Amino acid sequence: MIREILAHPDPRLRQVSRPVERFDDELRSLVDDMIDTMHDAEGIGLAAVQIGVHLRLAVMKVDENPLRIMINPEYEKLGEPMELDEGCLSVPGVREKTKSRVDRVHVRALDLEGQPYEFEANGLEAACVQHECDHIDGHLYVDCLSNVRRARVLKRYRRERERAAERETRD
Ligand code: GNR
Ligand code: NI
């Protein structure tokens, strides 16, 4: 089932998520919905908080890498800082260049059975891990920007939102 993605400035995006403790049908069904919602929105990752569920959990599918289900994820930074064009399904319609991600991370997480597993991510997938873990702690990528860039991207975002709202009332 496709769920609604919360958009900035929804205060629910700022709440810190709690660890997953129960590995049951409800969790499996939530993960299914997150995967459907991520694919429908054409995103490369989605954290549970983005659909209003405050559990430490994200899904990710970046290029040819496998679909990752990251429960209670933690990561260690390995690589060098990189520049990338970052976007977020909760700040839709805009992108901004960021320099706060490293290009390689080591991830520890649990799978749907509650079993620990590890992997290394590089490039865009590494950036996505950092982006999703930020969501889990109530942060958005725009928080990492300089004041000037944040003001610029949020201004563009508000303008886009107003245009979208206008289109809604016209149709
Ligand atoms: O779809 C997404 N693209 C993206 C591009 C660069 C860096 C991070 C991302 S994640 C984003 C999906 C999303 O909002 N996940 O929380
Ligand atoms: Ni995001």
Q: What is the pLDDT of residues 1-58, one digit of tens each?
A: 999 999 999 999 999 999 999 999 999 999 999 999 999 999 999 999 999 999 999 9
Which pLDDT score is estimated for 169?
86
Indicate which residue of 118, 120, 132, 166 is catalytic: 132
Superfamily of domain 11-170: Peptide deformylase (3.90.45.10)
Q: Whose CA is nearest to atom 1 of ligand 1?
A: 43
Which pLDDT score is estimated for 171?
78
Which pLDDT score is estimated for 79?
93
Our answer on whether the CB atom of 103 is closer than 6 Å to any ligand 1 atom is no
Q: Which residue, among 121, 27, 28, has the nearest Cα to 82 in the 3D structure?
A: 121
Which pLDDT score is estimated for 170?
84
Average pLDDT in the 123-146 region?
A: 97
pTM confidence score: 0.97
- In Å, how far from its chain's centre is CA 133? 7
Our answer on whether the CB atom of 55 is closer than 6 Å to any ligand 1 atom is no
Contact 12, 49 (CB under 8 A): yes
Q: For residue 85, is pLDDT > 90?
A: yes
Contact 91, 81 (CB under 8 A): no
| Domain layout of the chain by residue ranges | 11-170
Q: Whose CA is nearest to atom 6 of ligand 1?
A: 86
Our answer on whether the CB atom of 34 is closer than 6 Å to any ligand 1 atom is no
Q: How confident is the model at residue 115 (pLDDT cuts 50, 70, 90)?
A: very high
Atom of ligand 1 nearest to the CA of 89: 14
Contact 5, 37 (CB under 8 A): yes
Q: What is the pLDDT of residues 139-168, one digit of tens each?
A: 999 999 999 999 999 999 999 999 988 998
Distance CA 51, CA 127 (A): 21
Our answer on whether the CB atom of 128 is closer than 6 Å to any ligand 1 atom is yes
CA-CA distances (angstroms) from residue 95 to 56, 89, 92, 141?
25, 10, 8, 10
Contacts of 102 (CB under 8 A, 6+ apart): 77, 78, 79, 80, 81, 82, 126, 130
Q: Which ligand is nearest to the CA of 132?
A: 1
Which pLDDT score is estimated for 146?
94
Distance CA 168, CA 171 (A): 6
132 is catalytic: yes
Residue 62, CA atoms < 13 Å, CB-side half-sphere: 18
Q: Which ligand is nearest to the CA of 48?
A: 1
Amino acid at site 34: M
